[in-house]
Amino acid sequence: MLTFIKKIFTWWNRDTFGTRIKTILFGKLVGTDHLGNKYYESKNGKRWVIYAAEIDASKIPVEWYSWIHFTHNKIENNHELKKYDWQKPHQENLTGTDSAYYPNKNKNAIQKKYKSWKD
């Protein structure tokens, strides 16, 4: 019951009830990515994504980013991108989380380059 209520009133938990109806009636599944996101297209050319988990636009991998933004490139049809050994896998934006990148994790090692006039 709680899941049904979340579907009706919240937009940050995957898809809302209205989006689900639109997807059933007008959407054609184009494909999915390795994160579990599903990509749909309507007959008139509108495109949308239903996220597998929390909604975050940075969770769209590069091979689907160009498709959703109508950017034509060589991977348009099969969404298979050849990756090299030195390339890292796609990762969503981790800013503000515990997994965020900090150039210097030791907070005590940060030296101020000025002196405060209030001591």
Domain containing 60: what range? 2-81
Would you state the pLDDT for residue 83? 74
- In this prediction, residue 12 carries a pLDDT of 59
| Number of domains into which the chain is organized | 1
Asked whether the predicted pLDDT for residue 73 surpasses 90, the reply is no
Q: Answer yes or no: is 21 within a domain.
A: yes
**Residue 28 domain flag:** yes
Predicted confidence at residue 76, as pLDDT, reads 53
Query: Is 91 part of any domain?
Result: no
What confidence tier does 107 reach under pLDDT thresholds 50, 70, 90? low
Domain assignment present for 13? yes
What is the pLDDT averaged over residues 83-107? 77
Confirm whether 55 is domain-assigned.
yes
Which pLDDT tens digit goes with each residue over 19-72?
A: 888 888 999 999 998 889 999 999 999 999 998 887 888 888 888 888 888 887
pTM as predicted: 0.61
Residue at 67 is within a domain: yes
CB < 8 Å & 24+ apart, contacts of 1-5? none
Flag whether 90 is in a domain: no
Span of 8-12, 18-22, 85-89, 99-103 with lowest mean pLDDT: 8-12
Q: Is residue 105 part of a domain?
A: no
